[in-house]
């Protein structure tokens, strides 16, 4: 099975006349259409088998046709690489993390109210709605404290009440400058101005917010059922607590990019809420299904306490790929072994940070290596229990070293 390990949606173009759009990456695969030079394409993802093959969609005689095309047949790839490499980190959860740690000290020292401290712990534990319920009655008492307003804004934002968060954060910034908060406020302002997804559906484990004009009600109900089912399946393996419903926001591609500020190669992210772009229009196609499952894994892992530091990227992305059904092709597995033998790839402990600034080649290697590591983790630690590992994060460094050896790193 061909595995799309690097996802993006970018408008590129065909280089030469009579370029075939095929049903697969092989030169022997069926030709679905023949495209003219300059024809615009939506590029969905790169195939992680070293073939430099892309999944694309073209408009042919007024109809949308999805197929595959080699990267050397496309123009604009270099510009895409530059844009992708310069992309900032869109994840609000990363922006909030250092602010939460700073708040824990400031609120304890300046306010010391056990209810406020409890609300902070609830925000940390991904129970923002309960935190907001505690904080709202305290606003009369602490509404002039900038740190209290930062915390209330975080609880509102993670509860998917962006406009309330903006109000809290604006009042905090008026009282006390805060560069990190200003960046988060700017991101939330952009999101609020561009977000048109006002319809809501409630599942057992999730709250879906979506654009009614782009997602039919029947499809929306299917999305909720999928997310509920996938959460239960993933939680049974990883042990994810879920005291509150996980918010999932499903949007058109254009709205997704405008609200999240993501680079054009992104199709989903988790920032305390799941954001997913509709890759196949109003239909719930296989790529949108896969992306929803991938992001559910991230939401699950974020709900599991990881100790003093967040779960490393290789673990997050490896497990997310594995549990969303990705399979590593044997040629890629062999290539990783060759690269490991010649010390061309890093050890897992050096793949813990943000990957958004990796170039496309290194990103493919990182995602492939993460999936290979997840395969080894599940194969060799299944008897011990993956959820036991996650419940004992202090063991992860030792396990990481063992996986490095198994991968030849």
Q: Is residue 248 domain-resident?
A: yes
User: Are residues 265 and 359 both part of a single domain?
Assistant: no
Task: Show which of 274, 303, 332 is a domain's final residue.
Answer: 303
**What strand order describes the sheet that includes 206-210?**
199-202, 206-210, 246-251, 274-277, 268-270
pLDDT in tens, 90-129: 445 555 666 666 776 677 667 778 999 899 889 888 889 9
| C-alpha to C-alpha distance for 318 and 369, rounded to whole angstroms | 8
Q: How many CA atoms lie within 13 A of 18 on its CB side?
A: 0
CATH number of the domain bearing residue 126: 1.25.40.10
Evaluate whether residue 146 is within a structural domain.
yes
Average pLDDT score over residue span 387-402: 92
In a shared domain, residues 347 and 292: no
Prediction pTM value: 0.69
Quick check: is 308 in a domain?
Answer: no
- Shared-domain flag, residues 20 and 105: no
- Confidence (pLDDT) at 2: 32
pLDDT at 169: 95
Q: Taking residues 374-398, what's their average pLDDT?
A: 90
What phi, psi does 247 have (nearest 5°)? -85, 130
Q: Does 239 score more than 70 pLDDT? A: yes
**Does 108 share its domain with 179?**
yes
Residues 10 and 76 in one domain: yes
Q: In whole angstroms, what separates CA 381 from the centre of its chain?
A: 26
Domain boundary among 70, 85, 100: 85
Is residue 261, in this structure, part of any structural domain at all? Answer: yes
- Give the position of tokens 């740690």: 101
Question: Has residue 204 been placed in a domain?
Answer: yes
Higher pLDDT, 218 or 105: 218
Residue-level pLDDT at 4: 37
> Do 355 and 266 reside in the same domain of the chain?
no
Domain co-membership, 80 together with 136: no
Q: 372 in a domain, yes or no?
A: yes
Distance CA 295, CA 291 (A): 6
Tally of domains within the chain = 4
Both 323 and 369 in a single domain? yes
Range of the structural domain that residue 125 is part of: 92-194
**Tens-place pLDDT, residues 117-164:** 899 889 888 889 999 999 999 999 999 999 999 999 999 998 989 999
101 beta partners: none
Do 226 and 255 fall within a single domain? yes
User: Which residue among 303, 334, 369 closes a domain?
Assistant: 303
| Residue 89: predicted pLDDT | 40
Average pLDDT for 37-53: 69
In the chain, the N- to C-terminal Cα span, in Å, equals: 26
Using pLDDT thresholds of 50, 70 and 90, give the confidence band for residue 171: very high
Strand pairing report for 63-70 and 206-210: unpaired
Out of 52-61, 184-193, 295-304, 357-366, least confident range? 357-366
Cα atoms found within 13 Å of the Cα of residue 288, Cβ hemisphere only: 24
Extended strands (E) in 235-321 = 246-251, 268-270, 274-277
Q: Do 289 and 215 reside in the same domain of the chain?
A: yes
CATH code of the domain in which 299 resides: 3.40.30.160
């Amino acid at each position: 099975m061909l595995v799309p390990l690097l996802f993006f949606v970018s408008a590129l173009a065909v280089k030469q006349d009579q370029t075939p759009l095929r049903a697969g990456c092989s030169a022997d695969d069926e030709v679905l259409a023949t495209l003219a030079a300059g024809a615009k394409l939506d590029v969905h993802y790169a195939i992680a088998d070293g073939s430099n093959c892309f999944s694309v969609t073209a408009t042919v005689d007024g109809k949308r046709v999805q197929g595959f095309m080699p990267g050397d047949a496309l123009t604009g790839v270099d510009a895409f690489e530059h844009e992708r490499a310069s992309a900032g980190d869109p994840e609000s959860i990363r922006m909030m993390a250092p602010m939460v740690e700073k708040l824990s000290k400031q609120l304890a020292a300046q306010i010391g109210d056990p209810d406020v401290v409890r609300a902070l712990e609830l925000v940390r534990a991904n129970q923002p709605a309960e935190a907001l319920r505690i904080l709202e009655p305290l606003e009369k008492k602490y509404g002039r404290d900038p740190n209290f307003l930062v915390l209330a804004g975080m609880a509102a934002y993670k509860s998917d009440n962006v406009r309330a968060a903006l109000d809290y954060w604006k009042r905090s910034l008026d009282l006390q400058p805060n560069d990190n908060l200003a960046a988060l406020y700017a991101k939330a302002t952009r999101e609020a101005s561009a977000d048109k997804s006002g319809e809501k559906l409630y599942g057992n484990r999730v709250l879906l917010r979506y654009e009614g004009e782009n997602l039919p009600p029947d499809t929306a109900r299917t999305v909720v059922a999928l997310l509920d089912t996938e959460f239960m399946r993933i939680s049974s393996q990883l042990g994810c607590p879920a005291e509150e419903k996980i918010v999932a926001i499903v949007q058109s591609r254009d709205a997704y990019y405008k609200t999240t500020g993501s680079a054009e190669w992104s199709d989903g992210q988790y920032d305390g809420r799941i954001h997913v772009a509709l890759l196949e229009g109003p239909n719930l196609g296989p790529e949108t299904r896969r992306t929803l499952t991938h992001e559910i894994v991230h939401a699950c892992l974020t709900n599991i306490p990881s100790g003093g530091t967040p779960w490393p990227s290789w673990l997050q992305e490896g497990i997310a790929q594995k549990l969303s059904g990705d399979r590593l092709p044997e040629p890629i597995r062999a290539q990783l072994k060759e690269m490991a033998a010649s010390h061309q790839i890093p050890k897992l402990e050096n793949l813990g940070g943000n990957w958004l600034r990796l170039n496309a080649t290194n990103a493919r290697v990182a995602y492939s290596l993460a999936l290979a590591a997840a395969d080894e983790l599940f194969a060799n630690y299944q008897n011990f229990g993956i959820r036991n590992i996650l419940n004992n994060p202090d063991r992860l460094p030792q396990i990481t070293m063992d996986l490095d050896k198994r991968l030849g790193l």
